[in-house]
């Protein structure tokens, strides 16, 4: 049985935190729906101390902000965005429209149609999340979404040039400097100045994630992407420095970012705990990372790789870094996670910023039933059918008629019967199932 050398907050305390968040979000969304722009402006003033004449940036605003970046910074943004676009395009190319003729005269098919409007939330209150713009905006652009709205909070009292550049280069049609519940609420519900979208995507803090959850149904969402989670699966082929660095690298995201080490090496587990303490004394973001590690960090010692696999699948962490003597075995056998980072040469930050896979990933065990954001999330697969011959209309209609009557749906059966009568010349009594005919008839 797995042994916990360090545990985070108990589930009861985490549930209490979630309940408080739910209540705040519910009342805030109701206020936005009731008062529109006035509520949004008050929330922006309260939380961001930012209330410009218009939250939407003009093209001149965007150009001026991009001009603040150095050529090197702009080239780095373009390089990362190119990687994300290339992988998204490869994914899009794998999604084909189809049309088949399973029976003579019966045509079935499906089309992949872009969602018609998407609201992309790009976090930026604590850290300006430039990469999140690539992951949502650029990927929606590859999918062919005709209206892409992007929202990000101000950073240090004004729009962050790098985030705005990434949104613009990614293909956003409307950019608003607006954060938190007020941003996702305005995009989903709509206000006097912001038309509502059909779908919300992007990561965020606990309040943003909860707002998306409560708005789901009214609009589509990509997934529940709340506070960052990370897991390191490691054996004695790796050292404590790398494990501790990879854990704290994600714990700095926020005060409630779970970071978990799963290992079969007691030596590595104990040395990693010591190394984390050492790094927290020199890490500039230790104020955040130390609280996250204290409250949500865990070290789990397992008997063997089979138990490590079982523990990892049960936790279903957002990011799973695998550094073992059998990385591909985990690739073949893990079933519940957001994304895998295999081997010592890669790391979660690569996926966060530049390598090309999407970093908007399922949290809070959502990896049990969904993967992360990808180009397919912006596409709806719609089926269609048509019948091109009288013979096919009669054959399908006869079967359909009898099957509808089997379920007691007389009106349904008559939809089939009227076609059997017209196209097959069969006089089916009203409200009865079509007679069975031998295939030779």
State yes or no: 305 annotated in a binding site: no
Instruction: Give the pLDDT confidence score for residue 441 in this predicted structure.
Output: 56
Half-sphere exposure of 62 (CA within 13 A, CB side): 20
DSSP letter for 73, please. Answer: H
Cα–Cα distance, 358 to 132 (Å, whole number): 9
Fold of 21-95+112-222: Rossmann fold (3.40.50)
The class of domain 227-372 in CATH terms is alpha beta
DSSP state of 433: P
Pairing of strands 199-201, 220-221: parallel
> Are residues 149 and 117 in contact, defined by beta-carbon separation less than 8 angstroms?
yes
> Is 412 annotated in some ligand binding site?
yes
Question: 359 labelled as ligand-binding?
Answer: no
| Rounded alpha-carbon distances, angstroms, from residue 30 to 35, 43, 47, 139, 221 | 9, 13, 17, 31, 19
Check whether 59 is labelled as a binding-site residue: no
Radius of gyration of the chain (CA): 27
Is 253 annotated to bind ligand? yes
The full length of the chain comes to 441
| Encoded tokens for 175 | 């950019």
Q: Residue 235: which of 326, 339, 310 has the closest Cα?
A: 326
Q: How many angstroms separate the CA atoms of 290 and 200, rounded?
A: 32
Distance of alpha carbon 92 from alpha carbon 300, whole angstroms? 39
At residue 141, the 3 state secondary structure works out as helix
Name which of 196, 140, 202 is nearest 170 in CA terms. Answer: 140
Name the pairing type of β-strands 297-301 and 3-6.
Answer: antiparallel
**How crowded is residue 260: how many other Cβ atoms within 10 Å of its Cβ?**
22
Q: Please say whether the beta carbons of 232 and 330 come within 8 A.
A: no
Is the Cβ–Cβ distance between 430 and 411 less than 8 Å?
A: no
Cα–Cα distance for residue pair 5/370, rounded to 1 Å: 30
What string of DSSP letters covers 238-262? S-HHHHHHHHHHHHTT-TT--EEEE
In the sheet that 319-323 helps form, which strands lie side by side, from edge to edge? Answer: 3-6, 297-301, 259-263, 230-234, 319-323, 339-342
Tokens 């709806």, residue?
Answer: 380
Question: With left for phi above 0 and alpha for psi between -120 and 50, is residue 233 left, alpha or beta?
Answer: beta
What gap in Å lies between CA 428 and CA 432, rounded to an integer?
7
In a 10 Å sphere around its CB, with 0-12 CB exposed, 13-18 middle and 19+ buried, how is residue 1 labelled? exposed
Per-residue pLDDT of the chain (441 residues; tens, 9 = 90+): 899 999 988 878 777 778 899 999 999 999 999 999 999 999 999 999 999 999 999 999 999 999 999 999 999 999 999 999 999 999 999 999 999 999 999 999 999 999 999 999 999 877 899 999 999 999 999 999 999 999 999 999 999 999 999 999 999 999 999 999 999 999 999 999 999 999 999 988 889 999 999 999 999 999 877 788 999 999 999 999 999 999 999 999 888 899 999 999 999 999 999 999 999 999 999 999 999 999 999 999 999 999 999 999 999 999 999 999 999 999 999 999 999 999 999 999 999 999 999 999 999 999 999 999 999 999 999 999 999 999 999 999 999 999 999 999 999 999 999 999 999 999 999 999 999 987 545
Give the pair of three-digit tokens for residue 105. Answer: 């005269």
Q: How far apart are CA 316 and CA 419, in angstroms?
A: 52
pTM for this one?
0.91
Note the pLDDT of residue 14: 74
**250 annotated binding-site participant:** yes
User: Residue ranges per domain, the chain?
Assistant: 21-95+112-222, 227-372, 389-440
Mind telling me the catalytic residues? 318-319
182 is in an annotated binding site: yes
In this predicted structure, what is the pLDDT of residue 69? 98
> 368: which residues sit within 8 A by CB, 6+ positions away?
316, 336
3-state secondary structure of 30: helix
Measured distance CA(364)–CA(368) in Å, rounded: 9
Q: Is 343 helix (H, G, I), strand (E, B) or coil?
A: coil
Question: What pLDDT is recorded for position 168?
Answer: 98
Residue 430: the pLDDT is: 97
Phi, psi of 386, rounded to the nearest 5 degrees: -155, 155
């Amino acid at each position: 049985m797995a042994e916990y050398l360090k545990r985070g907050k108990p589930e009861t305390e985490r549930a209490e935190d979630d309940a408080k968040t739910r209540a705040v979000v519910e009342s805030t969304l109701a206020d936005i729906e009731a008062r529109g722009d006035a509520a949004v402006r008050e929330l922006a003033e309260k939380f961001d101390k930012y209330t410009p004449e218009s939250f939407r940036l003009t093209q001149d605003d965007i150009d001026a902000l991009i001009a603040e970046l150095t050529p090197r910074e702009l080239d780095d943004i373009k390089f990362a965005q190119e990687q994300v676009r290339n992988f998204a395009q490869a994914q899009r190319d794998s999604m084909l429209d189809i049309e088949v003729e399973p029976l003579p005269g019966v045509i079935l098919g499906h089309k992949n149609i872009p969602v018609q409007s998407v609201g992309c939330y790009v976090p930026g209150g604590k850290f300006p999340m430039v990469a999140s713009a690539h992951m949502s905006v650029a990927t929606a652009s590859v999918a062919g979404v005709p209206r892409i709205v992007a929202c990000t909070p101000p950073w240090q009292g004004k729009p962050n040039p790098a985030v705005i550049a990434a949104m613009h280069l990614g293909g956003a049609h409307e950019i608003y400097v607006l954060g938190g519940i007020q941003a996702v609420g305005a995009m989903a519900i709509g206000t006097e100045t912001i038309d509502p979208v059909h779908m919300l995507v992007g990561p965020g803090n606990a309040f943003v994630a909860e707002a998306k959850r409560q708005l789901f149904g009214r609009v589509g969402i990509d997934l529940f992407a709340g506070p960052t989670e990370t897991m390191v699966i490691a054996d004695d082929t790796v050292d404590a420095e790398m494990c501790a660095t990879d854990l704290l690298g994600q714990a700095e995201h926020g005060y409630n970012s779970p970071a978990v080490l799963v290992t079969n090496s007691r030596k590595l587990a104990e040395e990693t705990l010591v190394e984390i303490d050492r790094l927290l004394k020199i890490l500039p973001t230790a104020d955040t990372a130390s609280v996250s590690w204290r409250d949500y960090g865990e070290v789990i010692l397992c008997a063997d790789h089979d138990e490590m696999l079982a523990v990892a699948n049960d936790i279903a962490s957002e990011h799973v870094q695998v550094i073992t003597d059998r990385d591909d075995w985990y690739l073949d056998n893990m079933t519940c996670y957001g994304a895998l980072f295999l081997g010592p040469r890669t790391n979660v930050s690569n996926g966060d910023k530049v390598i090309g896979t999407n970093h908007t990933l399922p949290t809070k065990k959502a990896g049990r039933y969904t993967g992360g954001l990808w180009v397919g999330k912006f596409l709806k697969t719609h089926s269609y059918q048509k019948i091109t011959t009288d013979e096919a209309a009669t054959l399908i209609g006869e079967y359909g008629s009898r099957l509808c009557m089997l379920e007691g749906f007389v009106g349904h059966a008559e939809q089939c019967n009227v076609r059997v009568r017209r196209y097959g010349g069969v006089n089916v009594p009203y409200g009865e199932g079509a007679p069975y005919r031998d295939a030779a008839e």
